[in-house]
Structure 1
Amino acid sequence: METHTDPIARRSMLFAPGLRPDRARKAMAAGADVVCIDLEDAVAVAHKDEARSLVMPLFAEPHPSGCERVLRINGLDTVHGLRDIEALLSLEHVPDAVMMTKVRSAAEVQLLDELLQGNAARCKFYVTLETNHGLENVFQIAGASPRMACLLFGEVDLSADLRCKRTPQALLYARSRVAHAGATFDLDVMDVPHIHLEDMDGLHAAAAHAAELGFTGKSCIHPTQIPVVHQYFTPSEEEIARAERAVAAFKAGGSTGLAVLDGLMLQKPVLRASQRILALARQSKGAVSQGAQA
């Protein structure tokens, strides 16, 4: 599991195809908290080697402020996945994180942990849950490595595997289970992108639903979606003010581990939640400032 004093703001993630490093550079300046450069679904098999050769030099370029760079690799059960690993091991400058897709078991994460050594040992892990087996084993997957940073909900493939409709109600249990696993291991949890670019009302509804369930962010397929996503995953001024009051109440309570706020007895989980809200508020404001400078 990822451990740090302040959580990284992972409210939004913008995808860029591996064959277009120019788009990846533009994506890093678009204001998203995370940019994922995709060597898997976004690249046809015939062009995998070309995309890999184009992408790897990007990580030697100056790191964009306030943006985490993630590389989505091919499956470890494919020759191109193994070539991706070989290329990562040869790099002096590595991505911040590596994304695995269609993960079914903790053993797959542990194998990646063993393979990515040397400079690549610094890479954190993003794991996409998009199979029935992965959903069943999500708690073991979430705790499989100290490098785990984020779980992603893969709605399209998962709904097909579950034989259900792609509706909020049909996928409520699946989303909640992934959110529960993320909370258990203190990981970020990111929702699937809203694929209808002109349906902004649908994006608002989907982001609000994910935030209510405990997701910490949502993927995007276009920069115009980022401000809407940030609206739902950035602490509001009201939430920040209440968190500040809660932290102050715990401080006033001394070593008891209890606090009273507005007539309610609060215990340590509320303190942790309040501290997280304040940390995310600091991170988010920093990301906004850096984005404005860019």
Structure 2
Amino acid sequence: MSDYLMRSLMFVPAHSNKLLDSAMRTKADVLLFDIEDSVQPVSNKQVARDKVVDYIRSGKFKGRTIFPRINDRESGQLLKDVLALTIDGIEGFMYPKAKRGRDIYFFDKLLETIEYEKGIEKGTFKIIPLIETASAVMNVEEICKASSRVVAVAYGSEDFITDLEGVHDEEHVSLFTPRALIAMAARATGVIPIDTVHVRVKDLEDLEVNLKLSRKLGFEGMLVLNPMELPLVHQYYSPTEKEITHSKEILKSDEEARKNGVGVAIINGKFIGPPFVAKAKKILKKNENIIKING
């Protein structure tokens, strides 16, 4: 299981001092300094790069996990992005518009070349592919496996719906299948599945509906647009006290059963087989990670 805590990944338009200053005060697990869609006109992209470098080198984001969302390989901006931002304090990059595994393989090799040129250890910078097209959804497992740098994969629903020529309905039915496929592919390949943004930013009731479904589908975190969403997002992607207590009981009963030579432990009349034990370990590990990072 990854040591990354990724319950919330919040986009921050990186050309804005006001938004960067605001991001310093939030409790988002990951900050996605955006150099892509929210940074317009194109002339602002260099402004954004310079600000990210200045803020990080000043120590203002020390201890925070930062993955800038860079521009795609057809934008003409990608090389400028990675040359400027492959610095200490950057954990890795959110790579947009990946359609196949070879897109991530290409980006992996670009990072490898830059690491070599800068004297940085190979594999230092990680990748979070952003799944935004029908092609990407159909190839998501291949994308996840394309590089050992891939630590998570995220769903970008609005670009996906546009590419699909579908409709983002109020019940989010049109998003169900791609969400399920992305979560399954991520878990099958050992990377963290991150759910799409909630576009009705001020509708916290609808956010909660989405979070309940997201957890059921196996997502571990969500892309976030506004800090007001963070408390609910963290609540739903963190183990509850009941889950923590029950997990401890499972591991204790399993240990006692092993000591006594009994094959399977029983709690409240239910057999506790290996899947229950594995899940309990993951819950406790995640809780330890939250405590370690957030104190």
**TM-score normalised over the length of structure 1:** 0.88
1:273-292: per-residue Cα shift (whole Å, max 9, x none)? 21111111122234443xxx
Which residue is 2:111 aligned to?
116
- 1:209 is aligned with what amino acid? L
Which residue is 1:231 aligned to?
235
- 2:177 is aligned with what amino acid? Y
- 2:226 is aligned with what amino acid? H
- 8 Å Cα contact 2:66-2:89 kept in structure 1: no
Within-5 A mapping of 1:192-203: 192-203=196-207
- 8 Å Cα contact 2:155-2:182 kept in structure 1: yes
Which residue is 2:252 aligned to?
248
Distance 1:262 1:143, change over 3 A: farther
CA distance in structure 2 between the partners assigned to 1:253 and 1:61 by the alignment: 54
Identify which of 252, 269, 276 aligns with 1:270.
Answer: 276
Shift of 1:63: 7.0
Which residue is 1:261 aligned to?
267
- 8 Å Cα contact 1:17-1:37 kept in structure 2: yes
Give yes or no for the alignment of 1:41 onto 2:37. Answer: yes
Shift of 1:187: 1.6
Highest RCO, 1 vs 2 (Cα 8 Å, sep ≥ 6): 1
CA distance in structure 2 between the partners assigned to 1:22 and 1:281 by the alignment: 33
- 2:279 is aligned with what amino acid? A
Identify which of 282, 285, 293 aligns with 2:291.
Answer: 285
- 1:130 is aligned with what amino acid? E
Quick check: 173-182 or 94-103, which moved more? 94-103
- 2:5 is aligned with what amino acid? A
Distance 1:250 1:149, change over 3 A: same
CA distance in structure 2 between the partners assigned to 1:187 and 1:107 by the alignment: 18
Within-5 A mapping of 1:121-132: 121-132=123-134
CA distance in structure 2 between the partners assigned to 1:250 and 1:106 by the alignment: 41
Give yes or no for the alignment of 1:27 onto 2:23. Answer: yes
Which residue is 2:48 aligned to?
51
Give yes or no for the alignment of 1:97 onto 2:101. Answer: no
Identify which of 152, 155, 161 aligns with 2:154.
Answer: 152
Distance 1:175 1:257, change over 3 A: farther
Shift of 1:65: 6.6
Shift of 1:55: 1.7
Quick check: 57-66 or 150-159, which moved more? 57-66
1:134-162: per-residue Cα shift (whole Å, max 9, x none)? 00100011111111111111111111222
Quick check: 182-191 or 137-146, which moved more? 182-191
CA distance in structure 2 between the partners assigned to 1:97 and 1:135 by the alignment: 22
Quick check: 173-182 or 21-30, which moved more? 21-30
Identify which of 73, 77, 85 aligns with 2:74.
Answer: 77
Shift of 1:212: 1.5
1:72 is paired with a residue of what secondary structure?
coil
- 8 Å Cα contact 1:29-1:64 kept in structure 2: no
**TM-score normalised over the length of structure 2:** 0.87
Quick check: 152-161 or 259-268, which moved more? 259-268
Shift of 1:194: 1.7
1:196 is paired with a residue of what secondary structure?
coil
Which residue is 2:141 aligned to?
139
Between structure 1 and structure 2, the one with the greater Rg is: 2
Which residue is 2:59 aligned to?
62
- 8 Å Cα contact 1:253-1:259 kept in structure 2: yes
Number of aligned positions between the proteins: 283
Distance 1:142 1:262, change over 3 A: farther
- 2:51 is aligned with what amino acid? L
- 8 Å Cα contact 2:11-2:225 kept in structure 1: yes
Structure 1, unmatched stretches of 5+, are 290-294
1:219 is paired with a residue of what secondary structure?
strand
Which residue is 1:292 aligned to?
none
Percent identical among aligned pairs is 25
- 8 Å Cα contact 1:11-1:33 kept in structure 2: yes
CA distance in structure 2 between the partners assigned to 1:28 and 1:142 by the alignment: 30
Give yes or no for the alignment of 1:164 onto 2:166. Answer: yes
- Give me the CA root mean square deviation: 2.2
Distance 1:250 1:8, change over 3 A: farther
